[in-house]
Structure 1
Amino acid sequence: MKALPSLLIIASTAGLLSACGLLGPKAPETTAATNLSDSHLQSKFPGYTLTEYQAGEALYQTQCSRCHTLHPATRLLENEWALIIPEMASKANRKAGGEVVTAAGQQAIFRY
């Protein structure tokens, strides 16, 4: 029975650390495409490749997360993303003091 209080303390501490996110970083969520040959995606972006998708994903995760939490693509409509991405890229470029998100980068993020 002496082990019970120690076990409760350990379990409580682990629970608190887990709740606070101190047991390790949370992996970033991704909207990874499972099939880039999907007819809808290919009809919108003919020839879109996995390499292009991964470049857009990497740029989104590294640059966009510098200023805010990452948002799922479903948060906005496609036409809203088309307006917001250039605005956010401009802010990121100003903040960095140089071009960190190019026009090609904006397109990659949009397609991602």
Structure 2
Amino acid sequence: MTDEMGVSKDKLLVILGLPRATIQRKVKKNQPLSAEESSRVLGIGRLIGQTQAMVETSGTPDGFDAATWVAQWLDQPLSALGGQRPAALMDTAEGQAIVSNMLSRTQSGAYA
């Protein structure tokens, strides 16, 4: 996922609020992520899929890289969030829902 998004593994872990040491330990011991950790990772995947679907609906998907766009968008301060970056909300299911809703509103022009 980090390659597709054009971000480092460390940056993605920060966005997801996952401690690097915990993830390294689980990888080393070949342990699965917890349900909460998995939910955070899946949330990024859903956001990328949502973005791709929005672009395909608009009729101009040629050359668009949803994963890279999402990574950049998550890192941009948004006035609708009081200057906070959407990435700051991606560490909880509630925050992911807010970010997803905000992305949908962006498509409609609500936060343009």
TM-score category by the smaller chain? Answer: under 0.3
**Which structure has the highest helix share of the two?**
2
**TM-score (normalised: structure 1):** 0.26
**TM-score (normalised: structure 2):** 0.26
Q: Which has the larger radius of gyration?
A: 1
